[in-house]
Structure 1
Amino acid sequence: MRVLILNADYPRFVAWLYQRNPELAGAPYAAQMAARNASLFGVADFYSRNFAAAGHVATDIHVNNPWMQAAWAREHGFAVEQPPAPGSDAPRQAIPNWLQRGIAPFKPVLRPLARKVGLSPRLDAEAEKILLAQIEEFRPDLVLNQDVFHVDTRLARRIKGIGHPILIGQVGIVPSRGEDWSAYDLMISQLFQVVRTFRNAGVRSEVLHLAFEPDILDVLPPAPERSIDISFVGAVSADHQQRVAQLEAVARTYDLKLYGSGLQTLPASSPLHRCYQGEVWGVEMYQVLRASRVTLNSHIDMAGREAGNMRLFEATGVGSFLLTDAKDNLPSLFEPGREVAVWTSVEDCLSEIKAALDDEDRRQAIARAGQARTMAQHTYRQRVQTLLRLAAELPARR
């Protein structure tokens, strides 16, 4: 089977990658893909390498990377202009934080309108043309679309028309209202509330959790010393109000190191400003986790009572002690108190941090057990096996 994985990267990550490698934007497509994968950011090539290990032909496309896509187009005879140098685009006007907080609960309803007026990410006509040409050339039997915003339902139907591949979408947030998802044979998500939304819309949907790639451990630099008492890597925004409250309480008591985005959305009085260490991506992010005695986790507000974000698997996968928020389904992923530590309130979080910092043996035991659980049950190899089983169970393609 020929498997194609579609993905999109955070623009800030793409700018970071190309600004630190000034010659990369003009390099051949294969060289740009190799550099992107070597960064280890996000899922990198973890799905495609495990599909290949299972005996399939698999490849990735990063649909919103203009330099990589332009390189492919030139190499295949398309007349395209070289995109502007990374970082040269004028930054968009930030939405005021008070407005972000106000609209956060209504995002599933507002996304279609935002797309119509150009406020939601989407591919332009040339980017769509290049992507469709790539699909025509590769002729996949299965397409895993991990970005249902850039590759929207309209474009998904066009992809479906190229050889009629099995089309699987992966999404971790409640989908936009009013969309026609019928082009998809299957939608997967780490959150059951998302799965339920798709099922209610008449689309087959299943829970499939995120994962860790064990090969990361073979290519990371040597593990650093545990020089960071407490770290958090991730975003702080209007969508993470519980997280912000937790982190601010930790920052008032402990030497928290904060890495991520969204700090500009917080008031100047927030103690998180003095904790901020900048953004870290891929390899650097893993090294921060490995250097931390305690690394914190808090899910996005819309996750509700469900656990499943990437930090669960990244932190445990590299052998870090993870202190995460209690969720109803967490025991199905990790055993609380043995494989991960758990907090139920801000006060409880502060107590758990103190207990962890005071007891190195317990901290290390939990970190080892968490890593063992991830290696046994939460790798991309297992997720690919599940995807192949789900694909085999789908009705015959029309």
Structure 2
Amino acid sequence: MDKNPSLRIAFFGRYTEGATGIVRSIFMGLHELGHSVYEINVAARPGLLKNPHRYQGGHGPIYIRWDLVESEVEIFKPDIIIFCAGGLTVEPNILEKLKREYTIVGFTLSDPDVFPTVNQYAHLFDHHTTNSVEALEFYKKKGINNTILMPFAIDSRFFVPRPIDPKLKTNVAIIGHARENRINIAQRLVKEFNTKVYGRNWPFDSLGPVHGEDWFRAAYSTSFLINFPKTGAGYTNVKVGVFEAIATGRLLFTEYFDEMKRFYDYDKEIVGYANEEDLIKKIRYYIDHKDEAEAIAKAGQLRTACEHTWEKRLAKFFRDAKIY
């Protein structure tokens, strides 16, 4: 099979979650595919942004002030311009001009939550992606036909083993911010097991948010990681944390829901739970059956390496969009 051509890509993104965040991970995936990527981190250049509606959390539009980046993009001579999440785009008249010279792509990574605003401009891109099966149907019902499903994934850094930090070593870890539906379970896990909790706004002592190498130390220093599939807006979704956790070779526990079956097999690659009591029971079981726990975790890690990397996701997107 012929190797896919190398593309020149101007990449606009905001690294809200630091070096291990999803936007940075996509940037790394583009490099792993062999593309030449010109990076514009808008968090480091806040003067580039115009946000007339005060949007945040992935909602948009948040406009790039094109007059401030036009010359550097022209010097780079990209084939493609990617606006990677965060509601990023340019004003419609500028977008139409750019589409005459480049292929323009918008990645949305916070669906379905941000669909109510993103659907107002997603159709203006040459190609648009959503992370959500449910949101894909929302776009279709709106008559938005340029949107392609691109589920979450990870880059190769997540497979590189890190040493266990004795100060963080634990049976169970929750790496995520507090939400109402998570608090009772988290408190129960802290009570029942050797559990560490990371993230913001927990109503009890936690170790705070972790990014970059701190995230890796936390993940690699636990045996089990817990996933909560509800989004902030109450949707059930396969989140990026699922792939990040499984890539480290830790055993992931997540609520049962159908969409997860598209990616992993319950009880073979991940462990599902029906409710709080079921989760407690299963954690106890796998603490006592470490060989079984390790076999499931390793099977999940292998499937992640084979199927769920950004290199593979992005290559499929470029093929589906007929950019290759």
TM-score where L is the length of structure 1:
0.68
Given candidates 242, 250, 267, the residue that maps to 2:189 is 250
Partner of 2:151: 209
Residue 280 of structure 2 corresponds to residue 350 of structure 1: yes
Q: Deviations over 1:195-225 (max 9, x none)?
A: 122222222222211112224444x643546
Residue 139 (structure 2) pairs with residue 198 (structure 1): yes
**Residues 126/391 of structure 1: CA separation in 2 closer, same or farther (3 Å cut):** closer
- Alpha-carbon distance in 2 for matches of 1:224, 1:139: 45
Match of 1:146 in 2: 84
Partner of 1:161, secondary structure, is helix
Distance (whole Å) between structure 2 residues aligned to residue 298 and residue 124 of structure 1: 29
Residue equivalent to 1:295: 225
Deviations 1:328-366 (A, max 9, x none): 111110111111111121111111211122211111111
1:173 matches 2:111: yes
Give the Cα–Cα distance (whole angstroms) in 2 for the partners of residues 359 and 242 of structure 1: 29
How far residue 372 of structure 1 moved from its aligned partner, in angstroms, is 0.4
Query: For residue 211 of structure 1, what is the amino acid of its counterpart?
Result: A
Query: Aligned partners of 1:138, 1:176: CA distance in 2, in Å?
Result: 34
CA-based RMSD: 3.0
Letter in 1 for 2:243: F
Match in the other structure for 2:177:
235
Aligned equivalent of 2:94 = 158
Q: Distance in 2 between matches of 1:165 and 1:189?
A: 21
The answer (yes or no) to whether the contact 1:42–1:282 under 8 Å persists in 2 is: no
User: 1:303, CA displacement in angstroms?
Assistant: 6.1
Name whichever structure is richer in strand by fraction.
2
Alignment equivalent of 1:65, drawn from 35, 40, 44: 44
What is the CA deviation profile of residues 269-320 of structure 1, one whole-angstrom value per residue up to 9, with x for unaligned ones? x4xx13x0112102211221111111111023346344x2111111111111
Query: How far 1:243 sits from its partner (Å)?
Result: 2.5
1:310 aligns with 2:240: yes
- Cα deviation for residue 126 of structure 1 reads 8.9
Compare CA radii of gyration and give the structure with the larger one. 1
Task: Show CA shifts across 1:113-166 (max 9, x none).
Answer: xx65536478999965434444333332222222242x24x5365245235422
Alignment of 1:51-200 (within 5 A): 51-66=30-45, 116=52, 118=54, 120=56, 129-149=67-87, 151-152=88-89, 154-155=90-91, 158-162=94-98, 163-171=100-108, 172-174=110-112, 175-177=115-117, 179-200=120-141
Partner of residue 3, structure 2? none
Q: 1:205 to 1:258 in 2, by over 3 A?
A: same
Q: Higher helix proportion, which one?
A: 1
Structure 2 residue runs without a partner (length 5+): 1-6
Mapped partners of 2:322, 2:207: distance in 1: 46
Structure 1 stretches of 5 or more lacking a match? 15-38, 74-114, 264-269
Q: How does 1:29-48 map to 2 (within 5 A)?
A: 39-44=19-24, 46-48=25-27
**In the comparison of the two structures, how many residue pairs are matched?**
306
When residues 334 and 303 of structure 1 are mapped into structure 2, their CA distance, relative to the original with a 3 A threshold, is: farther
